[in-house]
Chain A
Amino acid sequence: MSKIKWLSNVKLETGERLLENGTVETETAIFHLKIENGKIVEQLYVNEPIPSGQEVINMKQRLALPTFKEMHNHLDKTYMTLDWKACTPVANLKERLAFEAAELTILSDTAQQRATKMIETLLENGSTHIRTHVNIDPYIGLKNLEGVIAALDTFKGKVTADIIAFPQHGLLRESVPTLMREAMRSGATMVGGLDPAGIDNAIEKSLYEVMDIASEFNADVDIHLHDGGFVGYYTTDKWIDIVKDAKYQGRTALSHSFCLGDIPVAQQKLVASRLAEEDVAIMSTIPINLGRVIPPIDLLDDHGVKVHFGCDGFYDSWSPYGTGDVLEKATRFCELTRKIDEKSLRNSLKWVTGGIVPLNADGHKVWPNIQDDASFVFFEAASSAEVVARKPSDRLVMIHGELV
Chain B
Amino acid sequence: MSSLLIKNARLETGFIYENTRIVGTETSLYDVLIKEGVIVEVEKNIPQSSYEVLDADGKLLMPSFREMHIHVDKTYFSGPWKACKPITNGILTRIEEEQVLLPTQLPYAQDRAENMIQWLISQGHTHIRSHCNVDPQIGTQHIELTKAAFKKFEEQVTYDIVAFPQHGLLRSKVEPLIREAMRMGATLVGGVDPSVIDRDIDRSLNLTMDIAVESGKGIDIHIHDPNSLGAFEFYKLAELTNQAYKQGQVTISHAIALGDLHGTELEEMVSALAEAKIDVTTTVPINRPTIPIPYLHENGVSVSIGHDSLTDHWSPFGTGDTIEKLSLLAQRFKYIDEYSMNRCWKYASGGIMPLSDKGEVVWPQKGNLANVLLLDAECSAHAIARRRPITHVVSQGNLVFHNGESLKKEVLK
Contacts and interface: CB of A to CB of B under 8 A. Distances in A.
Contacts of A323: 387
A236 interface: no
B47 interface: no
A296 to B, nearest CB: 15
B336 A86 contact: yes
A90 to B, nearest CB: 9
Contacts of B338: 86
Interface of A is mostly: loop
A237 interface: no
A65 B23 CA distance: 43
A210 B24 CA distance: 40
B183 interface: no
Q: Looking at B83, B85, B316, which has the most chain A CB atoms within 10 Å of its CB?
A: B83
A4 to B, nearest CB: 32
A394 B412 CA distance: 9
A361 interface: no
B334 A341 contact: no
Interface in B368-396: 378-379, 381-382, 385-387
Interface of B is mostly: loop
A341 B330 CA distance: 29
A95 interface: no
B387 A340 contact: no
Contacts of A289: 331-334
Given A288-B328, A332-B286, A341-B85, A315 B337 contact: no
A337 B287 contact: yes
A47 interface: no
Contacts of B24: 85-86
B83 A340 contact: yes
B70 to A, nearest CB: 17
Interface residues of B, number: 39
B83 A290 contact: no
A381 interface: yes
Given A288-B332, A321-B385, A323-B387, A345 B316 contact: yes
B327 A22 contact: no
Contacts of B286: 288, 332, 335-336
Given A288-B332, A382-B81, A390 B287 contact: no
B412 A392 contact: yes
Given A290-B333, A340-B315, A320 B84 contact: no
Contacts of B409: 394
A290 B290 contact: yes
B81 A21 contact: no
Interface of A: 21-24, 84-89, 288-290, 315, 319-321, 323, 331-332, 334-338, 340-342, 345, 380-383, 385-386, 389-390, 392-394
Given A86-B381, A315-B386, A382-B80, 6 more contacts: A86-B23, A86-B336, A86-B341, A320-B336, A340-B83, A340-B315
What 6 A-B pairs are tightest by C-beta distance, nearest first?
A: A320-B385, A389-B316, A342-B83, A87-B336, A86-B338, A382-B81
